[in-house]
Amino acid sequence: MGKVMIIGAGGVATATAHQLVKVPEVFEEVLIASRTKEKCDNIVKKINKGNFHTAQIDAMQVDELVSLIRDFKPDMVMNLALPYQNLAIMEACLKTGVSYLDTASYESPDNPHLYYIEQWSYFDKFKEAGITGILGCGFDPGVTGVFTAYAAKHYFDEIHYLDIVDCNAGDHGKYFATNFNAEINIREISSPGIYYKEGKWIETKPLEIHRTIAYPEIGERESYLLFHEELESLVKHYPTIKQARFWMTFSERYLTVLEVLQGLGLTSIKPINYQGMEIVPLQFIKAILPDPAALGENYKGKVSIGVQLKGIYQGKERSYYIWSNLDHEKAYKETGTQAVAYSTGVPAMVGALMYMKDIWRKPGVYNVEQFDPDPFLEAMPKYGIDWQEAIDIPLPIDKAEQQ
Ligand code: NDP
């Protein structure tokens, strides 16, 4: 049917590549291009298929991207590198008339804020060029938006309260490690918490608000309120929402180490001069931490990510919880990566599949909740991620609020 080009060769790209290979009739040729070509070669070596190719690219350079895209002629570019590269890759897609997909909103290297505004501003240009931009097609953002769209389509006339709950109850056996790119992860967690209430964005100190939330098949875990970019797109696309929050669990060890790193100034993104060389402390920390793509081998335990919603259906109050549970060992067996990379890489592949099959294809730039959720949620279990739902039950987030 066609060709896709993946940019990036980390944990997420590895998981996606292992899924693309399952649908050779759709993904006839795949090019994996990244800053370090050796990492692309390692992925392809494991997959061992002749229709996968590799290339070296600096995805901050629009000209380099344009010439590689012109050379390979993909139907879609899947940006599985870092949020810093989003605008350069979108610009290159525009110049070459090729559709685009990513898994995280743009972030400027010197300003750790995740906002969609810059990517949304490409809407008219993508529309004129007749190309589709699919934004935030991992798990969160990604499936959380698809879950919300599914709830809105089938179960609610109006959604009023939205809580995204993300629990990693796994143990990788390392002293300290992040589950995806350490620089992006630590920037996210060290930023102020922000949530939406009655038309306003309310800022808290980092990790200031926390609740003990119960997760299916896992039990209670301390969960911390963070800002996450899908809150911005979901309150825009579902204007009846009165409150929207995002919760994530962290172990005590993780939080203690993070506090020490912060206390020492080692999470700073301001460059310092060290023996005549300019270094960014957080980039140095990333360099010495375990590679998230390589955490899978001894990772045990489960991940649970879902959306808890309250609102109105046919004049009555309604509550609804929709979630997926993933298993680190199963993810590793299948793709050689842990469940967090897997939970991002599989939805990215399903999003590309929706595009290639003409199901999610419309000129412009869209968040995932703006497409039909049904075919996506029908396909996702075939590629390893099942989901479950419960209607009109007491929500775990409400129980946590009452404690
Ligand atoms: P990794 O750090 O493991 O991989 C990132 C890859 O991008 C690396 O191969 C890196 O190259 C490459 N890269 C970085 N800069 C450039 C550049 N200038 N040009 C070309 N390639 C570059 O990250 P992950 O795989 O863990 O995460 C990938 C993306 O997925 C991130 O944007 C992350 O925010 C997002 N994500 C989304 C989630 C979701 O649920 N929506 C959850 C988890 C992650 P090199 O090897 O040389 O460093």
CATH of region 2-135: 3.40.50.720
275 pLDDT above the threshold of 70: yes
Tokens (6 digits) for 240: 């009846």
Helices (H), 85-142: 86-96, 117-120, 123-129
- 3-state secondary structure at position 312: strand
Nearest of 247, 160, 153 to residue 195 by alpha carbon: 247
Mean pLDDT of 20-40: 97
Listed in sequence order, the residues at least 6 apart from 342 whose beta carbon sits closer than 8 Å to its beta carbon are: 15, 326, 331, 334, 335, 384, 385
| 91 in Cβ contact with 113 (< 8 Å) | no
In the chain, CATH 3.40.50.720 covers 2-135
Q: What pLDDT does 293 receive?
A: 80
Distance 396 CA to ligand 1 centre (A): 32
Distance 288 CA to ligand 1 centre (A): 17
Distance 45 CA to ligand 1 centre (A): 19
The residue contributing the CA closest to ligand 1 atom 34 is 104
Q: Quote the pTM value.
A: 0.96
Listed in sequence order, the residues at least 6 apart from 150 whose beta carbon sits closer than 8 Å to its beta carbon are: 322, 373, 374, 377
Q: What pLDDT does 113 receive?
A: 73
Mean pLDDT of 276-290: 94
Backbone angles phi, psi at 348, to 5 degrees: -60, -45
Q: How confident is the model at residue 348 (pLDDT cuts 50, 70, 90)?
A: very high
Give the Å distances, CA to CA, from 114 to 134, 194, 366. 16, 11, 16
State the chain's mean pLDDT as an integer: 95
Q: Report DSSP letters for 210-252, one per residue.
A: EEEEEETTTEEEEEEEE--HHHHHHHHH-TT-SEEEEEEE--H
The residue contributing the CA closest to ligand 1 atom 9 is 9
Ligand 1: nearest atom to the Cα of 36: 47
Q: Which residue(s) pair with 99 in the sheet?
A: 76
Q: What pLDDT does 112 receive?
A: 67
Distance 246 CA to ligand 1 centre (A): 22
Pocket around ligand 1 at a 6 A CB cut-off: 7-13, 34-36, 39, 57-60, 80-83, 85, 103-104, 138-142, 180-181, 184, 292-293, 340-341, 344
In the chain, CATH 3.30.360.10 covers 143-335+384-402
Ligand 1: nearest atom to the Cα of 58: 19
Nearest of 328, 327, 271, 269 to residue 297 by alpha carbon: 328
Tokens (6 digits) for 341: 């990379």
The per-residue pLDDT for range 93-116, each reduced to its tens digit, is 999 999 999 999 998 887 767 789
Q: What pLDDT does 92 receive?
A: 98
Distance 8 CA to ligand 1 centre (A): 6
Residue that is written with structure tokens 């999003």 in the block: 351
143 pLDDT above the threshold of 80: yes
205 pLDDT above the threshold of 90: yes
Select from 7, 18, 32, 35 the residue to mutate for testing ligand 1; criterion: most ligand atoms less than 8 Å from CB: 35
The DSSP 8-state label assigned to residue 97 in this structure reads T
Is the bond preceding 141 in cis, omega lying within 30 degrees of 0? yes
322 pLDDT above the threshold of 80: yes
Distance 181 CA to ligand 1 centre (A): 6
Select from 5, 6, 7, 12 the residue to mutate for testing ligand 1; criterion: most ligand atoms less than 8 Å from CB: 12
311 pLDDT above the threshold of 80: yes
What is the Rg, in whole angstroms, of the alpha carbon atoms belonging to the chain?
20
Nearest of 246, 291, 45, 59 to residue 145 by alpha carbon: 246
Ligand 1: nearest atom to the Cα of 82: 32
Distance 356 CA to ligand 1 centre (A): 23
Q: Which residue(s) pair with 310 in the sheet?
A: 161, 319
Ligand 1: nearest atom to the Cα of 14: 25
Q: 3.40.5.10, 3.40.1440.60, 3.30.360.10, 3.30.720.110: which CATH number matches 143-335+384-402?
A: 3.30.360.10
Helices (H), 32-120: 37-47, 62-72, 86-96, 117-120
60 pLDDT above the threshold of 80: yes
Select from 7, 34, 299 the residue to mutate for testing ligand 1; criterion: most ligand atoms less than 8 Å from CB: 34
Distance 147 CA to ligand 1 centre (A): 24
Distance 211 CA to ligand 1 centre (A): 30
Listed in sequence order, the residues at least 6 apart from 31 whose beta carbon sits closer than 8 Å to its beta carbon are: 3, 4, 5, 6, 52, 53, 54, 55, 68, 72, 74
Ligand 1: nearest atom to the Cα of 61: 18
Select from 344, 349, 350 the residue to mutate for testing ligand 1; criterion: most ligand atoms less than 8 Å from CB: 344
The β-bridge relationship of strands 76-79 and 243-249 is unpaired
